Structure 1
Amino acid sequence: MQTNSSLADIRTFVTIAEQGSFTKAAEVLQSSRAHVSRQLAQLEQQLGVQLIIRTTRAQRLTPVGEQFFQQCLNSLQTINQAVIAAKDDTEQLKGSICINCVGGVIGEDILTNIISEFNLQYPDIEVELDFSSPRVDLIAEAFDLVVRMGELEDSGLVARKLTDIKVQVLASPDYLAKHAVITHPKDLEQHNCLTGSIKRWRFHQKSRQHNNAPIHEVEIHAKGNFSCKSGRALINAAKNGNGIVRLPELYCDTEIKANTLAPALISGSEQEQWHSPDVPLFLLYHRNRYQPARLKVLIDFICRHFNQF
């Protein structure tokens, strides 16, 4: 026996049984009496049984129709509850959101403060923040949002740029006083460079005549006696006079203002100055036309608050 009966036909049968007439069922379903009758006939043909005995004046369920009605009624109630729950998940500002982010200042200071402010405005939305360092797979690891630094590969995800992060080459005033002035990136290869995960440091000179477009580029292999993936650890090592660091400016803004760290690469004229390229910071998420409302408001909230950087 075929079991591919249309859910619409089953809904129509249940409505006929509940209303007690084809005419009333058609009104509830906003359909014609003839269409309702055809749907019932189609369902009975697929099942190979008669569900309703109808005459010109009355109708009643057959024994198998009564049994089928009760089972379908319970199932449809479950389906309706599932539909409501799915719509609520999309439309209501509640539920959970999982975010993966780089750690350090960006994750632990900036994003955490943004999320804390968000939680005050939307207390029914639960946010789980993860600082695991490997590049995660949004689908495999069930993350809703990922905050990622650096240029991106084409992944099919939506990428919203949050900001461009300025990068500085810094050392302590004591270290700089003990060494010759560094005027070219290649000079850094003769120094003790304190490195994180990136060992090759890129620099460029900008053209003032062509909208700051890079005109010369240099890449060096940074080497030294200390390496750590923690920005805070690198800052402390540099403050102690151990060497030169290359870090996002917002990581060490306090130290720069306090003059415990100072620019290490000093060029001549403005046209000759060497710069580390800015590093883009992106917010990544799935391309989903039915994106839950809770996710939409958090994405807009994060993007709006990162505009200040």
Structure 2
Amino acid sequence: MLLDQLRLFLTILDRGSMAAAARDLGLSPATVSERLAALEAHYGARLLLRTTRSFSLTEEGRALADGAQHLLAEAEELDARIRLGTERIAGPIRLSAPSDLGRNRIARVLDDFQQDHPEVEIDLHLSDGYVDLMAQGYDLAVRYGDLQDSSLMVRRLADCARHVCAAPAYLDRHGMPEHPDDLARHNCLMMRFGPNTDRFWPFVIDSRQRRIAVRGNRTANDGEAVRAWCVAGHGIARKSEWDIAEELADGRLVRLLTDYETPPIGLQVVYPAGRGHIRRIRLLIDSLATEFA
């Protein structure tokens, strides 16, 4: 019974409201509210701070969300081992990944993984914004950059350079920038990460890192959209080497300002500590590491 209540709690967090969780679970909103109240009474603590339109986690609620993920993961693993045998790999995996990388590289890894393990169910979430793994119930995420949340485990997959690039057609019309300051005269295609737009691009100039302000007439929160605009000749973009490798190889894009590039950043997989003990998740992490090695 407690496991069911914990699943209900995580569903509320994942769906963002008790009404949405009720629809997913086939329950009435009143029943969901009653079960949440019973869970809070069981622990003797308020788990959510609710308003008419939204809610936020209390400290106790955040601790329970973390612990519930671990507990349910272990219960799922035990259930699979007993029902299916220790050699069979089965069960759900919820994965978050950057949009462009997810479509063009990670999706292929998942195809191969499911071919080897057809009883695994994949739920892939593509987003270039911040995702709270604990609160939203994800097993793992692939992300660029250094680990920010120290409660998560991390496995580095590769170093990843970011290149400023443009299509030959754009450069024919507007000329080649020779210095990062020249970007002020160009149309730059910008990414938006959640509420923040990437308006300042880093470069190494005179042995020091500087952030150059850029501007342009197109911004998107989807990396593939920015890449497509760049290939179509609408402006200059700053993209991960993984996202534009094919376009650079066949000449559809050209690297710019290579003498001023910053050092590569990390590409890593992050996951709550308890999820790494689950065999299907551990095997998928290994598959990702092999892909990007």
**Structure 1 residue 194: Cα displacement:** 1.2
> Does residue 259 in structure 1 map to residue 251 in structure 2?
yes
Q: 1:204 to 1:196 in 2, by over 3 A?
A: same
Letter in 2 for 1:241: G
> Does residue 183 in structure 1 map to residue 175 in structure 2?
no
**Structure 1 residue 118: Cα displacement:** 0.8
> Does residue 200 in structure 1 map to residue 200 in structure 2?
yes
Q: Separation in 2 of the partners of 1:289 and 1:255?
A: 36
Preserved CA contact (<8 Å) 1:149 1:279: yes
**Structure 1 residue 115: Cα displacement:** 1.0
Q: Separation in 2 of the partners of 1:242 and 1:290?
A: 43
Q: Separation in 1 of the partners of 2:137 and 2:226?
A: 32
Q: Separation in 2 of the partners of 1:114 and 1:289?
A: 19
> Does residue 299 in structure 1 map to residue 293 in structure 2?
no
Unaligned regions of 5+ residues in structure 1, if any? Answer: 1-80, 207-214, 267-272
Q: Deviations over 1:137-188 (max 9, x none)?
A: 2222111111112222143111111112221111222332344542221221
- Give matches, 1:1-309, under 5 Å: 85=79, 88=82, 91=86, 93-104=89-100, 106-197=101-192, 198-204=198-204, 215-265=207-257, 273-288=259-274, 291-307=277-293
Q: 1:85 to 1:154 in 2, by over 3 A?
A: closer
SS at match of 1:195: strand
TM-score, with length taken from structure 2: 0.64
**Structure 1 residue 110: Cα displacement:** 0.9
Percent identical: 30
Q: Separation in 2 of the partners of 1:86 and 1:292?
A: 10
Q: 1:101 to 1:83 in 2, by over 3 A?
A: closer
More helix by share: 2
Letter in 1 for 2:92: S
**Structure 1 residue 241: Cα displacement:** 3.0
Unaligned regions of 5+ residues in structure 2, if any? Answer: 1-74, 193-197
Q: 1:281 to 1:190 in 2, by over 3 A?
A: same
Equivalent pairs, count: 212
**Structure 1 residue 260: Cα displacement:** 2.5
Q: Deviations over 1:82-110 (max 9, x none)?
A: 99638638955222211111112x11121
Larger radius of gyration: 1
Q: Deviations over 1:220-260 (max 9, x none)?
A: 11101111223333233233332211111222222222322
TM-score, with length taken from structure 1: 0.61
Preserved CA contact (<8 Å) 1:176 1:264: no
Q: 1:172 to 1:290 in 2, by over 3 A?
A: closer
Q: 1:293 to 1:275 in 2, by over 3 A?
A: same
